[in-house]
């Protein structure tokens, strides 16, 4: 039965005998119980609104569309984001898409 299955800290699924049943939980390693919105781990728009309301910076200029895209790509090239690959490829694309949509709406 499924009662003896558990998700381990290494993201594998194991049974009560500690045998690996799946090397990565689900297709993408994401736990549906931890999703924020639309079955995704982060609701970017909610975070953007929260940040803009809690730390307003009315005297600071916004980044240009090109500067925003460059900054996002530099951050995604950092080891902490590269460590998400290959399973985090969709998540990283969602980050790019979100910031590209912000850049287009400036």
Question: Structurally, how many domains does the chain consist of?
Answer: 2
Same domain, 2 and 51: no
Verify that 64 and 98 share a domain, yes or no.
yes
55 and 70 share a domain?
A: yes
Edge-first strand order for the sheet with 20-22 is: 6-7, 13-14, 20-22
Tens digit of each residue's pLDDT (9 = 90 or more) over 60-100: 998 999 999 999 999 999 999 999 888 889 889 999 999 99
- Percent of the chain exceeding pLDDT 70 equals 83
Identify whether residues 56 and 71 lie together within a single domain: yes
Instruction: Find the domain containing 81 and state its range.
Output: 35-106
99, 49: one domain:
yes
Predicted TM-score of the model (pTM): 0.63
CB atoms within 10 A of CB 30: 19
Do 64 and 76 reside in the same domain of the chain?
Answer: yes
What is the structure's pLDDT at 95? Answer: 94
Q: For residue 72, count other CB atoms closer than 10 A to its CB.
A: 19
Neighbours of 99 (CB within 10 A): 21
| Shared-domain flag, residues 61 and 20 | no
């Amino acid at each position: 039965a499924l009662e003896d299955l558990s998700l381990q800290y290494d993201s594998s699924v194991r049974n009560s005998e500690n045998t690996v049943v799946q090397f990565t939980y689900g297709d993408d390693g994401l736990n549906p119980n931890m999703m924020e919105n639309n079955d995704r781990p982060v609701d970017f728009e909610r975070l953007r609104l929260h940040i803009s309301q809690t730390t307003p910076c009315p005297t600071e200029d916004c980044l240009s569309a090109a500067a925003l895209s460059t900054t996002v790509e530099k951050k995604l090239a950092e080891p902490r984001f590269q460590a998400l690959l290959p399973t985090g490829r969709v998540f990283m694309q969602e980050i790019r898409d979100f910031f590209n949509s912000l850049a287009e709406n400036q």
